[in-house]
Amino acid sequence: MTAGCMPDDLHAKIGQTIMIGFPGRRESDPGVKAIRAQLQEGTVGGVVLFPDNISSKAQLKALIAALRETRSDLPPFIAVDQEGGAVQRLRTRKGFGWFPSAALVGKNPSLDSQEIAEAIYAEMATELAELGFNMNLGPVVDINTNPNNPVIGARGRSFGSDPDTVAPIAAAFINAHHAANVATVAKHFPGHGSSAVDSHRKLADISHSWQNLELEPYRRLALQGLLDAVMIGHLYHPRFSDLERLPASLSAKAVDALRASDGIGFDGVVMSDDLEMGAIRDAFTPEEAAVRAIKSGTDIVVFSNIERGDLNFGTRIHHALAVAVCDGRIGTARIEEAYRRIVRLKEQLKTKTLPRAW
């Protein structure tokens, strides 16, 4: 870490803005030892788990317990993508429950009432909580305006083609998770449903396909006080991008649209989508992406670290952010602001006070 340019408490606050993936499944694995040390030292503030980290319920529960016990003051976010359908990191062949896709829930008359949807997602949330997870990187609140969209519509990840379908089921998803004391992350702002390409592969240009109605689920969930965190997608639209071809995930315009009182009016945690996806990786180093995202107003930067499996990747990102604070590219106030939001959500988890509403 950069020595002498900032107080230790600011280093700790920078650490809270980093969520990272890691290799390994057991406490004795080098990757798990490394990430536990980074959590304990405050180098990173959260982790995201992927299928490679998971072999069985007993193994996963032990792994998460080892991660959570690293901090008692600010417990780490232990996150996973568990949407149902095509995106389930906890797979049935490894002994976990099966859950229908968002599309199936949204279009099936026997499943799409809020009460039935909440019952489905209560099972999901209960399983997550029993394993030790405290954050689910869902629900997807994208409107399915392009059914051929390779990453949303074609994979059944949207609840439906209009906000009147999407918003109530998303509320049921969030309510169920809150009842189990699991935080949620609505995604992918400002809306991935109309895209024609997969942002895992390259930047998704939604300049001519995006519609204003794609903001409506965020508005409704914010009005109900249900948004814990919002994930910004690697999407290009002039309204949400600071420069031509710059993703919303690295742009202050996108965060401003979320924060503005005449926009969504959201004051919770803003997260990036995985900053190692093709849309970002092709144009920026991980360090550049992290600095740009935090500077633009994002509170937590997410790196999957799947392909590289770098045991010191969290330290590397922390160092890049610390240097950017030291040389003035990121203001101290920006770190303090992010820290305040992150701590507020972690305190809600500690005190089991995540809100519930219809």
Say if residues 12 and 71 touch (Cβ distance below 8 Å). Answer: no
Q: Give the β-pairing of 82-84 and 87-88.
A: antiparallel
| Strands (DSSP E) found in 62-180 | 77-80, 82-84, 87-88, 135-136
Could you tell me which of 197, 234, 236, 232 has the C-alpha nearest to residue 215? 232
- The single-letter code of the amino acid at 309 is G
How far apart are the C-alpha atoms of 202 and 235, rounded to whole Å? Answer: 9
Say if residues 60 and 131 touch (Cβ distance below 8 Å). Answer: yes
Q: Which residue among 29, 52, 200, 319 is the active-site one? A: 200
- 177 catalytic? Reply is no
Q: Centre a 10 Å sphere on the Cβ of residue 181 and count the other Cβ atoms it contains.
A: 17
- 8 catalytic? Reply is no
The single residue listed with the structure tokens 């906000």 is 163
- β-pair partners for 82: 88
Q: Which residue among 198, 228, 273, 274 is the active-site one? A: 273
- β-pair partners for 120: none
Say if residues 229 and 186 touch (Cβ distance below 8 Å). Answer: yes
Ramachandran quadrant class, 45 (left: phi over 0; alpha: psi -120 to 50; beta: rest)? alpha
Q: Which residues lie closer than 8 Å to 322 by C-beta, 6 or more apart?
A: 1, 2, 5, 6, 11, 14
How far apart are the C-alpha atoms of 334 and 320, rounded to whole Å? Answer: 15
Say if residues 264 and 223 touch (Cβ distance below 8 Å). Answer: no
How far apart are the C-alpha atoms of 143 and 166, rounded to whole Å? Answer: 7
Q: Which residues lie closer than 8 Å to 154 by C-beta, 6 or more apart?
A: 147, 148
Residues annotated as part of the active site = 200, 273
